[in-house]
Amino acid sequence: MNALAEQEAPAAPPAHEFVVNAAARRVPTVVNGEPQVPYAGVGGYLPSGRKHGPPIRSCASYPANGDKRAASLRAALEKCGLRDGMTISTHHHLRDGDVIAVETLRTAAAMGVRGLRWFPSASFPSQREVIGLIEQGVVHHIEGSMNGPLGELTSRGGMRGLGVLRSHGGRWQAVQDGEVHIDIAVIAAPTADPFGTADGSHGPSACGSLGFALADATYADHVIVVTDHLVPFPCIPWQIQGNNVDCVVVVDSIGDPKKIVSGTTEITKSPDRLLISEYIARFVRDAGIMKHGFSFQAGSGGISLAFVQYLKEMMKAAGVKARFVRGGSTKYLVELLEEGLTDYILDGQTFDLAGVASIASNPRHVASSPFTSYNYHGKGNIASLIDVTILGATEVDVNFNGNVVTHSDGLLLHGIGGWQNCLFAGCTVLAVPSFRDRIPVIVDSVTTLCGPGELIDVVVTERGIAINPRRTDLIEATRGSALPIRPIREIQSEVEALIGGKPQQPRLTDTPVAVVKWVDGTLIDTVWQVG
């Protein structure tokens, strides 16, 4: 077989061996050539050994005047020794407005490089061009998140390797533990200096925090900072330290500011979602969680934003102040801070212009990172210090297990985000409609297990609130509340009667297309190819 034929012949899919993990899910023993540890239960797997580290470098190899500018992204990639089979990482703080991640992979393609592992902290619909690069063999597989079109491609078996889904904390853990060795990190930075010091809260493409890029900057062999706003040294504040950076590339634009921050983050107008938000706020109050010095986390979804507004009124009425809140920050959290209803915002990512302005100017609005917030292989993390966290889900089952990556038809469409990490809060609330279109959200068994039921405390739907029977304390605390607190199976039956019964089994094959990592790097479940 000649070289050309070898390249063009589709590689035979590797035969997988499976084991059944502690959650009774079948997971492969080897993923993309790496042996895996099956999920062993919450806290069931204890790591050993020492953290991974990048190679030791010397100042002698870098310009003494600190000017690390490279002529272009290609020149920087060449300088960092990009070649076949490497791992390239990018971050998603520019969200759907980012142009640098795709430009990096496109440049790699132009250089003739193949078989890359792309390791983004999240992917977005605007990055659908990567589908072509996967088909050409430039990208072998994605580890991080496969959202929207990339998820669908993965589900249909379009990726050469297995996708690996990790939480934000799991991504840090994987890098720190050496599960994923990053060869080249490309960090799009809204402001940077020629030394590589970089910040996200200033510049025409400001996005707020750059926390997701910190693991990459710390652990990658090579680090390239790409900016459209170069300032003379020092770039203050310095979220990324230039001491970790190999090259700085200046481009016209790192992204579309309109898509980086929406400018307006809208509260839902859906009456059912507003009802869910109101139920959650009343639950937090009635369960006694809303007390002086408490903390909560709520993201940027419509339900979360409305929840913050309802809770705010209740906090004012009760004269209660929070010690800290965690975002994704939005103007609604910023208002809480400015009105003195919380001492601090600890911000993982910044969702709107009000959030960006606040993090740039208010010392009580502090950027956090996946290390401080979420990393399970650390000496604790912020997520478990939080009193109550509001999360979404695609499915939850009658044993409170949650799914956040696939839909009931088996299609992979979402990343995990910080979802798994947040389950360790004092009270974890899943805010979900009881059905979407005709599809029930409360199911007998989740299509893909992402979070074990023992960590999910409350499911709030528009038809009522189900408290996990393990949480007798919450059941006791809300006894006598006017809230519609009901057994989860009762809500499930009511929905099934409305929608015409349980759904049929979707057609899934026995071919794995991706795996879901638990926060400790073990395999909690497998995503199967859709038939």
Partner 1 sequence: MQPGTIAPVPEVATAGRRGADVRSDVHVSVEPTSGGQIELGIESKVGSLYGDSIRVDVMELLLTAGVKSARVQLEDQGALPFVIAARVEAALRRAGHATGDLRPARSAPVHAPSPRDRVRRSRLYLPGNEPKFMLNAALHHPDAVILDLEDSVHHDEKDTARLLVRNALRCLDFGAAERMVRINTWPLGQMDLEAVEPEGPAPILIPKVEHERQVVEVARAIRRFMPGRQVHIMPILESALGIENAFAIARADPFVVALTSGLEGSTAALGVSKTAEGAESLYARCRLVNAAKAADLQAIDSVFGDVGDVEGLRSWGERARALGFDGMGCIHPRQIEVIHKAFAPSAAELEKAQRIVAAFEDAQRRGVSVVSLGTRMVDPPVVLRAQRLVAEARRQGLLLEVEK
> Minimal distance in Å, beta carbon 430 to partner 1?
18
Q: Using an 8 Å Cβ cutoff, are 258 and 235 in contact?
A: no
Give the whole-angstrom CA distance, residue 491 versus residue 488.
Answer: 5
| Residue 485 tokens, joined | 């607190």
> Minimal distance in Å, beta carbon 495 to partner 1?
10
| Residue 90 tokens, joined | 């990018």
Question: In this complex, which beta carbon is closest to partner 1, that of residue 50 or of residue 507?
Answer: 507
Question: In this complex, which beta carbon is closest to partner 1, that of residue 75 or of residue 499?
Answer: 499
Question: In this complex, which beta carbon is closest to partner 1, that of residue 246 or of residue 462?
Answer: 462
| Residue 192 tokens, joined | 């940077």
DSSP secondary structure string for all residues of 388-434: EEEE--SEEETT--EE-SB-TTS-B----TTHHHHTTSSEEEEE--S
> Minimal distance in Å, beta carbon 484 to partner 1?
9
Q: Cα–chain-centroid distance for residue 54?
A: 24
> Minimal distance in Å, beta carbon 409 to partner 1?
4
> Minimal distance in Å, beta carbon 506 to partner 1?
4
Q: In whole angstroms, how far apart are CA 197 and each of 19, 101, 249?
A: 46, 19, 12
| Helix/strand/coil percent split, the chain, to 5 | 30, 25, 45
| Residue 211 tokens, joined | 């926390």
> Minimal distance in Å, beta carbon 382 to partner 1?
34
Question: In this complex, which beta carbon is closest to partner 1, that of residue 320 or of residue 439?
Answer: 439
Question: In this complex, which beta carbon is closest to partner 1, that of residue 121 or of residue 434?
Answer: 434
> Minimal distance in Å, beta carbon 499 to partner 1?
6
φ and ψ at 324, to 5 degrees? -150, 155
Give the whole-angstrom CA distance, residue 59 versus residue 94.
Answer: 31
Question: In this complex, which beta carbon is closest to partner 1, that of residue 378 or of residue 506?
Answer: 506
> Minimal distance in Å, beta carbon 501 to partner 1?
7
Rg (CA), the chain: 23
Question: In this complex, which beta carbon is closest to partner 1, that of residue 251 or of residue 439?
Answer: 439
What number of CA atoms fall less than 13 Å from residue 106's CA on the CB side?
9
Indicate the Cα dihedral angle 101, 530, 30, 26, nearest 10°.
Answer: 130
**At 118, is the secondary structure helix, strand, or coil?**
strand
> Minimal distance in Å, beta carbon 363 to partner 1?
35
Question: In this complex, which beta carbon is closest to partner 1, that of residue 166 or of residue 273?
Answer: 273
What per-residue string of b and e applies to 407-428 under the rule 16 or more CB within 10 Å gives b? bbebbbbbbbbbbbbbbbbebb
Question: In this complex, which beta carbon is closest to partner 1, that of residue 151 or of residue 452?
Answer: 151
- Applying CB under 8 A, the residues found at the interface with partner 1 are 271-272, 274-275, 408-410, 436-439, 462-463, 497-501, 503-504, 506-507
